[in-house]
Structures are given as C-alpha cells and as structure tokens.
Amino acid sequence: MKSDPHRAVTLPLLLKKEEPAPVLPTDHTGQDAGPVVPPAESVGKELSRMQIERRRSTAWDFRARGEPFVWGLGGALAVGIIMILGFIALVVYNGIMTFYPQPLEVVSLRGGGTVAGELARVESFRPGPDILQQLPEDIRARIGNDKGFARRFLYRTGNYDLYNEDFRWVPEYDVVKRSTPKELYFFERLEWGPFIGTIKSIDLKDVVVDGAALKTGTLNEAMDQAAARRSRIRQLERNEMGKINHYLERGRLALKKVEMTHGEHSPQYRQAQREYREAAAKLEAQHAELSKEAQLIKDQDSKFTVTLADVEGKEKTLKLSEIVRFYPANSLTFTDKLRIYFSRWWEFLSQEPREANTEGGVMPAIFGTFCMTVLLALAVAPFGVVAALYLREYAKQGKLVSLVRVCVNNLAGVPSIVYGVFGLGFFAYVLGGSIDALLFPERLPNPTYGTGGLLWASLTLALLTVPVVIVATEEALAAVPQSMREGSLACGASKWQTIKYIVLPRAMPGIMTGLILAMARGAGEVAPLMLVGVVKLAPELPIDSIFPYIHLERSFMHLGFHIYDVGFQSRNSEAARPMVYVTTFLLISLVFALNAASIMIRNRLKKKFFGGHF
C-alpha cells in the first residue's frame, strides 16, 4: 500500500488542536480595550504562592535524593574514625614515651625548701583567696592579669620511704630557681619506688669509697655482681627450693590418698609411709643445702651497700642488690638514653611486676592473656562451627530452628558479668567440685579445680563468644552457592562429603572472620575473669617444668585486669598512670598481632578458593 505524502503532511495539522483566540474586553463603544491587567495585590499573592510551591518542590527533591542522610552518615563515620584514631594515638604516644628517661630538675622554693624530680605535668589552676593574701603584690597582680589563674608543676620526686609521697605539686609562684645539676642520679629500686639524689659513699665489702671519688666503671661492675647474686638467690628460693617443696607436698598427698583408700593401719599405708619418709628425708637434706647456700649468698650480699642522699641531705643506705638500675639523668647522651629506654622495655616484657604492679614487667600477664586466648579459640571454634553447620545444613527449618537462632542472637547481648557468675557456679563449683571429689579427694578441703583457673576462664569466655562464631559461620555457609552443593550431590558425593570438601573450604574465610571477632572480644574482657581465675599477682605460671607441665587449674594474670588493677587499685594514681598507658598499648598490640595472624590465614584461604570468595 502506497503512502500518501499529502496525508502524511496534513495529518499532524489535522490532529493539532486549535486553541481559541483570546477574547479581548470591549468598552461601551464596542472598541477593544486591550488586555486585562490584574490588580497588584493579586499579582503579589500569585508570586508568593509560586515561590512557596517552588521551595516545597526543591526541598522534596533534596530529601528524595538522600544527600542529607549520606552527609550525616559520612560525618558520623568520620567522627568515629577520628575518635578511634585519636584514642589509639594517645595510647601509643604515652605508651612509647613512658620508658624514655627524662631530666631531673632541682627547684628552690620561696619558703626555703627544695624539690627534686622528673617533671610529669604542667597545668593551670585558680588559687584560693587565702593563698592569694599570702603572696607578694607583684605575684597577685600577675595572677590577676591572667584572669586569676596560675601554673603549677607536678614533679615525680620518688623517695617514698622518706616523704611518704611519690609526686608533689609545686606552684609557679613558689619557684625561685630551677636547675638541672649533673651529679643528680635516678635510682630504680626493688622496693619503695625510685630514689632521686646523689651517691654519698659505697661500701664494697669493708672497702668504703667516697661518692666524689667513685668511678662509674667501678660502680657498674659492683652492680653487675650484685645483680648476679640477686638472680642466684631468686633461682635457689623460687625454682630449686620451690620444686623440692612441690615434691614434698605431692608425696604427702599421695600418702594421704593411700590412707583414705586402704586405711591408716593397712600394710599398704605402712609401706607408703616408709617410702614417703625416705624420699622426704632426701628432699629435706637437699632443701637444707640449698637454703644454706642461699643464706651464704645473702650474708655476702649484705656487705655490698651504697649510701644515698637526697637534695635536702637525708641519707638512705641500701644493698646494691636492691637497686635495679641507676643513671645520671642530666648527663646522658642520646645513645645512653636509648640504651636505658630499650633495657626498660626488655624488663617490662620479660620480668614480673613489683611495687604493687606499678613498676617492673608484665610477663606473667602477657603469658596468661596469650594462653587464655589460644584456649578460648580452641574451645569456641569447634562448638560454634558444629552448631552453625547443624542449624544451616541439617536442621529442618521451622519455628523451633528460628527460635534457636533468636536465642543465639540474644545471647550475644547478655552482660559479660552474667557469664562470669555462670562460669563460677557451673564450671568451678559444680564441675570443678565434682572433679576434685572424684580425682583429688586427698587435697580437700583445698580445691584444685573447684575454684577459678585458666581452664574455667577460657571456657567461660568461649561461652561468651560462641554466638559470634555461630552467626558468622551461618552467614558464611549461606554464601556458598547452592549450585555447588547440587553439583557435588549429583556426582555421587554424600551430604557430609559435600560439606567437608565443598562447603566448608569455601566458607572458611567467613568462619575465620567470626573467630577473629571472638578472639578480639575475649582478649579484652575483664569482668567475667575477675570471678573465674584472674588474680593480681600469680606466683606460678600455668606452664612450667614440673610434670604435667601444663597446669590449667592455676590462677593467672591478664593484661586487661592488670590495667584495671593498676589504674584503680594502686596507692598512687599518678605513679600508675604511665603503666596504664604502656599496658594498654601492649594489650592492643597483642590483640592486633593475633588478629593479623588470623587475617593472613583467612586471606590465604580466600586465594585458594577464589570461586567461593564472598
């Protein structure tokens, strides 16, 4: 059929609707009066209405596009990141700078006294009216020009055994002179905290050397010998003699068990008693020899002393073995400062705490935290993964399974102290008490497993973190494509073979993510640990050289509880503040190292099963 060009051209014209011509008003003569001009008031109202409609339309479009919500979420995220980075920066800076040696200042006061110490902090304060009345006119005028504020300095004076205080505030208006004398020393002691002063004299086994004539090499050599004696005494008393005491106690308990089993008048008991007495006689002889050796070293050590004097002339005589470290704080080179700095870090990481945990090291806390976290991961991983596998792959989906999932999610919100109470009641008192009654009746009424310990603390935190692992594992299993399961089953594999060789390997990165979160939360928990095993100071580590080598029933130290104890339970909060920062920095570093290792494993699994990457 041919198209008509005229029809094609005229069709739009025919379809176009003609608009009627505007009717112009006419006057009484019949002539056109021109267009109608509305009044000014009606024009203004119309313009206002149009502007309001335009604003409403713009505001609606603005909200519809979502920019305010995006900006709000982005701002909240930025604020959160800034707060986290600021906190980490604060902890890292104070933790790193804690062990760097600072100069010692000697401050002469207006009243005639003298203060010597490390400058810890400077702040502004407002003196009271009674204090201002006692000040000279020029000082009051200066304080008035500063809006009533004055500065004050906090000095770490040490010498607690002389002044009964570790820190002292010095107002700036009381300062007459500040100096840094070269002869001032900083002594770190085993007890009573640091001592700040000068060396009056040193007694090297009836050879007295004046402090002014003392050479640094002679003092360093004497200090090394004193440290060797201190180490030997510690090894004798805590290791060798402690091991003998352990064997004596174990023999006594074995004899008591024979008595409880066969009776006091049985031949088995008499035989065991003879064997115990023979073994105990040998052990007691060894103990006496070791005790005699330790006493000889102590007698020799008491002949090496040093007499110190503070800036006001008060003297203090100490054994050289009681001094851990000393240095002339105002005469150190940069190399000397670095040597002291790293030696303090090594002491912190490898030694036990002293002075109510405010000085020394945290090696038992590091060891306890690491052991507890590893046991936590070993306990929570199989239970969490098996539970998630059953809920996702085997259980018939319905109301009961949905209820279980709701309960698991609610368990994640239960306060941690509730888990601690449950762990103490069930694990320690019920399960541990049953173990003691069954396996260790001779030790009762002293509990073995019927009290807090490393094992019960790990299991309690495993219960605390298992919901996290279950939820993460379920999400990881759900992310594995259903087609892979069907393909495996179509090839003749059983359901367990499909899960073992197809599903689990590809879900492993997600499972590792849940395990990482569980480890991070468990390593930082403190409240439940206070009920199920953590202590202020653990004299024995959970792992040692005594059979069976691993003692999961023992109490342990934890970095999180160490921070709480030092920050809130120490006699001097100012003295404990540096240790709080450095221990917090160490705990963050330990959690970061554990998480980094887990993340590396997870990334390797992702590369291996890239097809299951999600």
- Residue 183 DSSP code: T
Looking at 196, 227, 259, the residue that finishes a domain is 196
d(C-alpha 470, C-alpha 482), whole Å = 20
Q: What is the pLDDT of residue 2?
A: 45
Q: Which helix (H) or strand (E) holds 607?
A: helix 573-608
CB 169 within 8 A of CB 574: no
* pTM of the full structure: 0.81
Q: Tokens in use for 566?
A: 């030092």
More confident of the two residues 97 and 25: 97
Neighbours of 356 (CB within 10 A): 17
Residues 173, 247 share a domain: no
pLDDT in tens, 411-462: 888 899 999 999 999 999 999 999 999 999 989 889 999 999 999 999 999 9
**Which whole number is the average pLDDT over 324-338?**
93
Looking at 146, 177, 196, the residue that finishes a domain is 196
Report the share of the chain in percent with pLDDT over 70.
Answer: 88
Selection from 118, 120, 171 nearest residue 574 by Cα: 120
Q: What is the pLDDT of residue 1?
A: 44
How would residue 71 be classed by pLDDT, with cut points 50, 70 and 90?
confident
Q: Is 355 part of any domain?
A: no
Q: What is the pLDDT of residue 138?
A: 87
Q: Tell me the C-alpha to C-alpha distance, in Å, between residue 116 and each of 196, 213, 339.
A: 7, 23, 24
Q: Is 314 part of any domain?
A: no
Highest-confidence segment of 54-58, 408-412, 604-608:
408-412
CATH number at residue 166: 2.30.30
Residues 237, 186 share a domain: no
Q: Is 74 part of any domain?
A: no
pLDDT in tens, 3-46: 444 444 444 444 444 445 454 444 444 444 455 545 556 656 66
Q: What is the pLDDT of residue 245?
A: 92
Residue 154 has pLDDT above 90, yes or no: yes
Q: Which helix (H) or strand (E) holds 184?
A: none
**Which whole number is the average pLDDT over 116-128?**
92
Q: Tokens in use for 282?
A: 């040998």
Highest-confidence segment of 212-226, 238-252, 563-577:
238-252
Residues 480, 373 share a domain: yes
Number of domains in the chain: 3
Residues 211, 192 share a domain: no
Q: Which residues constitute the domain of residue 192?
A: 104-196
* In 213-322, beta strands by DSSP E: 304-309, 315-319
Residues 261, 165 share a domain: no
d(C-alpha 476, C-alpha 602), whole Å = 13
d(C-alpha 303, C-alpha 319), whole Å = 8
Tell me the HSE value of 109 on the side-chain side, using a 13 A CA sphere.
Answer: 15
Residues 238, 167 share a domain: no
Residues 218, 187 share a domain: no
Residues 136, 283 share a domain: no
Looking at 131, 161, 196, the residue that finishes a domain is 196
Q: What is the pLDDT of residue 51?
A: 62
Q: What is the pLDDT of residue 568?
A: 83
Q: What is the pLDDT of residue 463?
A: 92
